[in-house]
Amino acid sequence: MPGSAQLVRAVDGSEETLVADAVLIATGGHPRELPDAQPDGERILNWTQVYDLTELPEELIVVGSGVTGAEFAGAYQALGSKVTLVSSRDRVLPGEDPDAAAVLEEVFRRRGMNVMARSRAESAKRVGDRVEVTLSDGRVISGSHCLMAVGAIPNSAGMGLEEAGVKLRDSGHIWTDKVSRTTAPGVYAAGDVTGVFALASVAAMQGRIAMYHFLGDAVAPLNLKTVSSNVFTDPEIATVGYTQADVDGGKIDAVVVKLPLLRNPRAKMQGIRDGFVKLMCRPGTGIVVGGCVVSPRASDSSTHLDRCRHI
pLDDT band at 308 (very low <50, low <70, confident <90, very high): low
141, 84 contact by CB (below 8 A): yes
pLDDT-above-70 percentage for the chain: 95
Residues of the chain above pLDDT 90, percent: 75
pLDDT by residue (tens digit) across 54-91? 999 999 999 999 999 999 999 999 999 999 999 999 99
Q: For residue 181, is it within any domain?
A: no
- Give the model confidence (pLDDT) of 106-138 as tens digits: 999 999 999 999 999 999 999 999 999 999 999
Is there a single domain that holds both residue 234 and residue 134?
Answer: no
Q: Domain ends where: 150, 173, 206?
A: 150
Residue 206 domain-assigned (yes or no): no
Supply the pLDDT for residue 139. Answer: 95
11 vs 262: which has the higher pLDDT: 262
Identify the domain containing residue 63 by its residue range: 33-150
Q: Is residue 285 part of a domain?
A: yes
Report the pLDDT value the prediction gives residue 6, as an integer from 0 to 100: 53
Instruction: Answer with the one of 106, 128, 150 that is the final residue of a domain.
Output: 150
Residues 6 or more apart whose CB falls under 8 angstroms from that of 19 comprise none
264 — pLDDT class (breaks 50, 70, 90): confident
In a domain, 279, yes or no: yes
Q: State residue 32's pLDDT score.
A: 94
Residue 155 located in a structural domain = no
The CATH code of the domain that includes 70 is 3.50.50.60
Q: Which pLDDT score is estimated for 228?
A: 86
Residues 6+ away with beta carbon under 8 Å from 10: 16
The mean pLDDT value for 132-156 works out to 95
Backbone φ and ψ of 214, nearest 5°: -60, -40
- Residue 198 is predicted with a pLDDT of 87
Q: What is the pLDDT of residues 234-256, one digit of tens each?
A: 999 999 999 999 999 999 999 99
Q: What is the mean pLDDT of the chain?
A: 91
Q: Which of 150, 123, 147, 143 is nearest to 67 (CA)?
A: 150
The answer on 135 and 237 residing in a single domain is no
Q: Say whether pLDDT at 1 is over 50.
A: no
Of 88, 120, 150, the residue at which a domain comes to its end is 150
Residue 22 has pLDDT above 60, yes or no: yes
> Domain count of the chain?
2
Q: What is the pLDDT of residue 307?
A: 67
Residue 47 lies in a domain: yes
**Is residue 58 in a domain?**
yes
Domain assignment of residue 126, yes or no: yes
Interaxial angle between packed helices 67-79 and 98-110, expressed in degrees from 0 to 180 and rounded to the nearest 10: 20
- Look at the alpha carbons of 164, 165, 166, 172 in this order and tell me if their dihedral is positive or negative: positive
For residues 57 and 141, membership in a common domain is answered with yes
pLDDT class for 3, splitting at 50, 70, 90? very low
Q: Within a 10 A sphere around the Cβ of 120, how many other Cβ atoms?
A: 13
Residue 7 has pLDDT above 60, yes or no: no
Full-model pTM: 0.88
Bigger pLDDT: 259 vs 301: 259
Residue 265 has pLDDT above 50, yes or no: yes
Q: How far is CA 131 from CA 9, 25, 81, 87, 186, in A?
A: 39, 38, 15, 18, 48
pLDDT at 4 (0 to 100): 43
> Poorest-confidence range of 4-8, 265-269, 273-277?
4-8
Q: How many CA atoms lie within 13 A of 290 on its CB side?
A: 21
Read off the pLDDT of residues 195-222 as tens digits, 9 standing for 90 and up. Answer: 998 889 899 999 999 999 999 988 899 8
Are residue 37 and residue 146 in the same domain, yes or no? yes
Q: What is the pLDDT of residues 43-55, one digit of tens each?
A: 999 999 999 999 9
Identify which of 30, 24, 223, 43 has the alpha carbon closest to the alpha carbon of residue 133. 43
CA–CA distance, 273 with 260 (Å, rounded to integer): 9
pLDDT level of residue 9 (50, 70, 90 thresholds): low
CATH number at residue 249: 3.30.390.30
